[in-house]
Amino acid sequence: MADSTQHRTRAIDLVGQRFGRLTVIKRQGTKKNGNAAWLCQCDCGNKVVVDGYAMRHGVVNSCGCIRRENSQRLAKQNTAFIAQQHNGAQTLKNEDGVYYASLHRGKRNRSGVVGVSFDRASGRWATRLFYQGRYVLLKMCDSYQEAVQLRREAEKKYLGKHKQ
């Protein structure tokens, strides 16, 4: 029976080497897939841990800044995208400027009330209402009933005729 350590290879030391915009600083352990992980400094200033194989084979060559720059450049050249950006916020609101999300319960809502949810970390109920670009209600409550009551009061005050 062959010893399983025979097939292991030593990681290539990449400290100080450059790959695209990344300069390798130090070894940062091993990824779940068995590849060496390396802490790298990107030219933009960010630090990122990168899979050594992906970096050596040109799959990863920045912290993500190249992708962001390319996306921004392409978005600025796309007239349809620009037009939608300017009108996009309006499609989320009704004719009076009230966000539809503040008016209608979505499929993922589990509390049964728009703007009320349970926060598992604190064990409390969160209630919120976003109106005209800001939160007019953002509070944690000990009971579901209190959260619903605060939400209903805020709806009457800010949404008035829009809430049924």
104-142 confidence digits (pLDDT tens) = 677 777 888 888 999 888 999 999 988 877 888 999 999
Distance in angstroms (rounded) separating the CA atoms of residues 61 and 18: 9
Q: Residue 159 and residue 136: Cα distance in Å, rounded?
A: 11
The amino acid at residue 33 is N
Q: pLDDT, tens digit, for every residue of 33-90?
A: 999 999 999 999 999 999 999 999 999 999 999 998 998 888 888 887 777 665 555 5
